[in-house]
Every structure is written in C-alpha cells, then in structure tokens.
Amino acid sequence: MLDNNKQPVIGLFVTCLADLYRPEVVFASIKLLEAAGCRVEVPQGQTCCGQPAFNTGDFSNTADIARLTITALEGYEYVVGPSGSCIGMLHHYPELFQPEDPWHARAQALKARAFEITSFLVDVLQFSNIKSQFKGQVTYHDSCSGLRELGIKQQPRALLAQIEGVELTEMEESETCCGFGGTFCVKYADISNRMVGNKTENVAKTGASTLLGGDLGCLLNMAGKLQREGKDVQVRHIVEVLADELSYPALGESAYHLGKSL
Amino acid sequence: MQITSPQFKENARIALTDVGLQKALGNVKNGFPQKRANAVKRLPEFDQLRDQGRDLKNHIIANLDIYLEEFEANVIKNGGHVHWCRTSEDARQTILKICQDKGAKTVTKGKSMVTEEINLNEYLEANGITPVETDLGEYILQLRGEHPSHIIAPAIHLNLEDVSETFHAHHHKPKSMDPAVLMQEAREELRARFVAADVGITGANFLVAETGSSIIVTNEGNGDLTQTLPKTHIVVTSIEKVVPTLEDMTLFLRLLARSATGQEFTVYNTLSTGPKRPEDQDGPEDYHVVLVDNGRSDMVGGELQEMLRCIRCAACMNHCPVYGSIGGHSYGWVYPGPMGSVLTPQMIGIEKAALLPNASTFCGKCESVCPVHIPLPKLMRHWRKNEFERHLTPKAARWGIKTWAFFAKRPTLYRLLSQTSNRMLRLLGGKKGRIHKLPVVSGWTDHREMPAPSSKTFMQQWNEKQKAGH
C-alpha cells in the first residue's frame, strides 16, 4: 500500500492501439488512477514500445525506440499502461543492451516501475473502491503477454468482483492465444483465423453478452471475428467497465444508433 | 526425407482444411495437456524439479566434452564401441558399415527421432538392408510411407479408420475397427521380425556417463525386444543426451514422463550397459553407440545454447495453438512445433526454414510448460533477428517495419501518422463503425471485420483538453 500522504505521480504509457483505436480506454485508465489517488501525466515524448520491430527481428530500430521511450518515461514514480503486451515489451528492454551499457541500468529502472493497469491497481495500490453501474454477464480473455510475462490473472478478476452487476462466466481455454500475435495475424492469416475461430466459439459457449480483456490487439481481433460470424457479443477493454465509461459503443459497434456523430 | 519447410504456408493451408487431420488434432488438444496438468498437480515439487533440470542441463552443456569422454571410456570398459559422427552422412556410413560387417539383411528399429534426422531408413534401403520400425506408430507410418508428425506420438495425425485401412491393405486380414484386434495384428506381424532381425537400432533418451549406459523409455516394450534379441545393438543418439549419473537420469525421467504423456513414469525404462556378459542369459553380442553431432556442438556457447537442454518431451507442441491447428507435417521436416522452429533452421539452414520461427504469436505457452525452461519464444526471435540481418525477411515486411520505425522514432511525426490513420479508418468505418474489406490488410479482413476507431486519437483529444485548460 502506498503512503497515504503522498500522491504518486504516474507517467501514463498510452499505447498505440489505444491512442489510435480506442481513446476511451486511456481516459478510463486516467479516471481509475485518479480515483485511486494518483496524479496522472501524459509524457509527450512517447510513441510505441517498439514491439513490432522487436518481433520482426529488427533489434537496431527496437533499441532506438527503447532509448526514446526510456527517456520519455524517466522521472515518473510509476509508468502505467492499459496493455499487458506493451508493458511486457518495456520489461524486455534490458535484453536489448549489454550489461555494461548505461542504457541497461536505465532499462532495468523502467522495468521495475512499469505496470499494466489492473496489476498496478491491485498489486501496488491495493485499490478496492471500484464504482461501476455496469450490469451483465461477462467472460474474460487472458491475453498471453500479460498472463505469462507479467503474471496477470487474478487482478482483473479481483477488480471485476467489486462490481455488483458483473456476473463472470469463465470460458474454456481462456489462457489460449486468440491468434492475434501482432503481424502474425496478417502474415499467417489462415492459422490466425483458425485460432480466433476457436476463441470466439469458446466465448459464445459461455452465453456472456460481453467479452472483456486487457489488450486491445486481442480485443480488436476477437471483436472483428465475432462480428464477422454474426455473434452478438459486445467487446470492451476491462477498464471501460471498471471506470464505468460505457456511454459510447463497444469495439466495432456503430455510434449512430446511440445518436452520436463521428 | 523431402524438406517442405519453404512451403510452410501452403502446407498449413491444406492442413487446415483436412477433415481427418483436424479430427486427429482434436485428440492432441484434448488429451496430452490435460494429462500433463493432472500429473503436475499430483507432484507439488514439480516446478522445483524443473528448476533443477534446467540447472543440471546447463552444467552438463558447460562440461559436455568431459561427460561424453567419461561416457565413452565406460562404454569401452564394458566392451562396447563408441562412434563420433560430426554429420548425418558420417552417421549413416558408420551405421551401414556396422550392419554390413555383420552381413545384416534386416534391422529392427525402436523409435528414434535422430534416425529420422539423419534419414537412416532410406539410406539403409538404398543399400539393400530392410529397416523395420517396431514402435506401433512408426510401424503404421512405415507401411504408409509417411514420416512422424510428432516426436513422441508419431502417428498422432491419423485416425482409427486410417490405421484400419492401412492394416487391411498390408496384412491381408479382414478389416477391423477394434483397436485391440489391430494391435494384435501388429504384434503378430512384428514378432517374426524381432526374431529374424540381424541388428537392432534404438535411440537413447539419455546416456549415463558414470556407467556407460544408454536408456530408452517406451510404453510398448518394443524397444526391449529391439535391443536384446538381435546379435548387434546400435544406439543412435545425439551428444546432448548425456547425463553425469544414474541419479541425474532419474530426475529427467520424472520430468520427461509427466511432461510428455502425464504419466508418473513411462512403462518400460530400459538401460543397456555394453554387450552381453558371460553370466547374462540374453542380450546383444555387440553394442555400439553412434554419437551424432549434426550442428549441436556449434550451438554450445552461442545464442541457441539453451535449446540443447531439450529432453524431447513434446510438451511444447502439445500445448502450441499453432501446432494444434496445422499438425506436425506442415513444418516440413523432422522436428515440428516450437522446438522444431528453433532446431530446424540450425539443421537444414535458415534459408529453407525461414518461415518457421515466424509462425508463432509468441504466446509463450510452450515456454510455460517446458520441463527445462527453454525460452522458446526468445530463441525463435533470435532466428527472426538473424533473418532480418541477412535480408531473408520478405522485402515488404522489411520495408514496412523500417518505414514504421522511422516514424516511431519521431514523436511529432508519429502523432501525425496516428491522426491520419485514425481519420482514414473512421471514414472507412462510416456509420457501421467497422470496415468489412481493406485490401492492404486483406489477411485481416478476409476473415474478420476491422473495428474502426471510436473517436479522434487520444493524444489529439488530450492535448486539445490541455490547451483548453481542463
């Protein structure tokens, strides 16, 4: 638990997909962090964590992007982002530099301060004051990087359990990859399609009306597949439900029927 | 065997529509992982054993020469022979020579992936010697002219109907769909072969340095008959299988059985220590160990060194959602799944195997179940790096990532790129809020809708708010 007299200052790591596709996820994250007593700043020097280059094998560009990100996020007590995958990438940064390189120590320092949001709320802040009017049956997909690189499993469930209206039905194979995998889903489209098809089948079997998760890559993938299959399941990032930011449509849904304009 | 790894994508596409294969793959997914999980649950110290296994393997690899020489000295002391083979060709010639010196006509074989790796069967056949596979799965595949699709369950890609038809065609007996009847048929066919064989060839799961023993584990007992009945026993295995002591071996046996099949112990664990002694009732008169390197010693001290810890349990492929979707033959060579995607480029060359290390979402499930903690995603990423540096990455992907990185290194430009993309995607999404078809990412929209952004980029909105003084 944090010292109550001290307001922690958070450097928010926005993440590309949230910035581009789902700004509401970032606003919801800020709302949650502020409700938990933090001061949130948005470092302007940040871009992407560099994972696309890292996983393509372009280590030189990855290291350049890492140096940029490390610099942008220095000086904040904590760095928090709404993605296990992107925060997991920040945790890979020390691998990019030789131990004697000064950047190695700076990468280590960032790794020690960087948290995915549900993990930060539960593991660091021990926050237990979630207030949300959300009502409905949900199921939760455990995104791979968060689950296996950062140990995120119980944290999102602990937070959802604080919402009276949430009924969580676990799907089969919630820990199996949805087939997104960054550029994998385009490079190996047929295999990815099979994997996401398995996933949407397991989602549909739960009967849940809402699918939640902590990573937009996976969520966009599953939302797109559910819609193509005509399965009536709404897909949202977990922070939208936790922060009660539900006034706009779910992923890939039309804003028009809600009477909103672009 | 013919290498089809360069056609990985085409192989996968065909596999995904193969009804029989898909049915068989359902058995992998629903079988092995659950059995492993149950076995792990029953052994609370399993994770500690994994740590021990990793540490011990690291120690062995750091002292590989010492333990191999100790092993060799003890084999010789027991009256056996050790043959050091740098390449597959060396190994094939060595084995052929031993067989020819014995005037061998037929050779029985226990299950061995190293003999697949060195393409032994075709070589023996070309030289007038008939190899007979005695592992049930391998036997079925040999009748069908196929290769294993899995390293511990070679015929896992087949269904009962396939086996029934194959046996009917080769055994000339009434067609049966009863596994017990089919098993009995195979047994009867193989008994005569076991007795007639001049040489028995097995692999080895481990080599024990302190005693000069080799051990094989099987659930069928075929390995025992292969190595005790013929006058000559040849063990064909690779150099990283050596362990210092019998006690060390038992650590790996505990890890192996649980990780592979979820058994606490494999049914037959058979040690071979040299040829038959005067007081022994049975056993071979000659005992040879063919130690295959085939690129492994080049891995020592390099970035792939950790792969040498592999004990060939197959847990990585049993849990891999990519393997589970396409099966082992799609990978196009001997070793499939995550371990194969690391090993195959080392053995057949990254040029031919370039697609394999990329065929992973890096979901990390393989690493999470590996009994010796091999960081398989990291090692696959090593190959991607190697491909990128050697310009083997497809041009479009290479150009794409470099262009993207140019922007990602310049925050102001990156914001502009995000804003432009955001606006375009919203326009394309229109009233529906999603995009049905987008040719530049057809890999995505062929199979799914693409959700459109819900509003202007976060950075745009945030900075507007800051300016407005909120």
Whether A54 maps to a domain, the answer reads yes
pLDDT at residue number B469: 79
Residues A251 and A189 in one domain: yes
Minimum distance, in Å, between the CA of residue B444 and any CA atom of chain A: 6
Whether A2 maps to a domain, the answer reads no
In this complex, do A191 and B325 lie within 8 Å of one another by their Cβ atoms?
yes
Whether A95 maps to a domain, the answer reads yes
SS (H, E, C) chain B: CCCCHHHHHHHHHHHHCCHHHHHHHHHHHHHHHHHHHHHHHCCCCHHHHHHHHHHHHHHHHHCHHHHHHHHHHHHHHCCCEEEEECCHHHHHHHHHHHHHHCCCCEEEECCCHHHHHCCHHHHHHHCCCEEEECCHHHHHHHHHCCCCCCCCCCCCCCCHHHHHHHHHHHHCCCCCCCHHHHHHHHHHHHHHHHHHCCEEEECCCEEECCCCEEEEEECCCHHHHHHHCCCEEEEEEEHHHEECCHHHHHHHHHHHHHHHCCCCCCCEEEEECCCCCCCCCCCCCEEEEEEECCCHHHHCCCCCHHHHHCCCCCHHHHCCHHHHHHCCHHHCCCCCHHHHHHHHHHHHCHHHHCCCCCCCCCCCHHHHHCCCCCCHHHHHHHHHHHHHHCCCCCHHHHHHHHHHHHHHCCHHHHHHHHHHHHHHHHHHHHHHCEECCCHHHHHHHCCCCEECCCCCCHHHHHHHHHHCCC
In this complex, do A55 and B384 lie within 8 Å of one another by their Cβ atoms?
yes
Contacts of B321 (CB under 8 A, 6+ apart): A176, A177, A179, A195, A198, B361, B363, B365
Whether A3 maps to a domain, the answer reads no
Residues A139 and A252 in one domain: yes
As a whole number, mean pLDDT of residues B328-339 equals 98
Residues A150 and A173 in one domain: yes
In this complex, do B455 and A47 lie within 8 Å of one another by their Cβ atoms?
no
pLDDT at residue number B27: 82
Assess B388–A contact: CB distance below 8 Å, yes or no.
yes
In chain B, the residue whose alpha carbon lies closest to the alpha carbon of A61 is B405
By Cβ distance, the residue of B321, B362, B381 closest to A57 is: B381
Whether A1 maps to a domain, the answer reads no
Residues A72 and A178 in one domain: no
pLDDT, tens digit (0-9, with 9 covering 90-100), for B338-397: 999 999 999 999 999 999 999 999 999 999 999 999 999 999 999 999 999 999 999 999
By Cβ distance, the residue of A47, A196, A249 closest to B454 is: A249
Domains identified in chain A, total number: 2
**To probe the interface with B, which of A14, A177, A198 has the most B CB atoms within 10 Å?**
A177
Residues for chain B: how many in total? 470
pLDDT, tens digit (0-9, with 9 covering 90-100), for B392-419: 999 999 999 999 999 999 999 999 999 9
As a whole number, mean pLDDT of residues B295-317 equals 97
- The domain spans of chain B are 43-298, 410-467
Residues spanned by the domain of A33: 9-123
pLDDT at residue number A3: 57
Whether A32 maps to a domain, the answer reads yes
pLDDT at residue number B445: 95
pLDDT at residue number A262: 41
Cβ pairs A/B, distance under 8 A: 217
Residues A247 and A136 in one domain: yes
In this complex, do B361 and A179 lie within 8 Å of one another by their Cβ atoms?
yes
Residue B372: phi and psi, rounded to 5, are -125, 25
Do B340 and B334 contact (CB within 8 A), yes or no? yes
Residues A143 and A70 in one domain: no
User: Helices B246-260 and B19-41 sit at what angle, rounded to 10 degrees?
Assistant: 130
- Rounded CA separation B246/B71 (Å): 12
pLDDT, tens digit (0-9, with 9 covering 90-100), for B20-58: 999 999 888 779 999 999 999 999 999 999 999 999 999
Please check the confidence at residue B308 and state whether its pLDDT lies above 50: yes
By Cβ distance, the residue of A145, A188, A194 closest to B9 is: A188
Assess B433–A contact: CB distance below 8 Å, yes or no.
yes
Residues A118 and A160 in one domain: no
**To probe the interface with B, which of A17, A34, A41, A47 has the most B CB atoms within 10 Å?**
A47
As a whole number, mean pLDDT of residues B107-129 equals 97
Averaged over successive runs of 10 residues, the pLDDT of chain A (262 residues) comes to: 74 98 98 97 97 97 98 97 98 98 98 98 97 97 97 98 98 97 95 98 98 98 97 97 95 68 42
pLDDT at residue number B415: 97
- Last residue within a domain, chosen from A94, A123, A152: A123
- Rounded CA separation B60/B55 (Å): 9
Q: What CATH number is given to the structural domain containing A203? A: 3.40.50.11810
Residues A64 and A163 in one domain: no
**To probe the interface with B, which of A13, A15, A17, A20 has the most B CB atoms within 10 Å?**
A20
Assess B362–A contact: CB distance below 8 Å, yes or no.
yes
Residues A48 and A150 in one domain: no
Residues A36 and A141 in one domain: no
- Last residue within a domain, chosen from A123, A147, A170: A123
Residues A115 and A133 in one domain: no
Whether A60 maps to a domain, the answer reads yes
Minimum distance, in Å, between the CA of residue B456 and any CA atom of chain A: 7
**To probe the interface with A, which of B454, B455, B461, B470 has the most A CB atoms within 10 Å?**
B454
- Last residue within a domain, chosen from A97, A123, A149: A123
Out of 3.40.1260.10, 3.40.50.10420, 3.30.460.20, 3.10.580.10, which CATH number does the structure's domain B43-298 have?
Answer: 3.40.50.10420
Residues A142 and A52 in one domain: no
pLDDT at residue number A5: 66
Whether A13 maps to a domain, the answer reads yes
pLDDT at residue number A193: 98
In chain A, the residue whose alpha carbon lies closest to the alpha carbon of B392 is A57
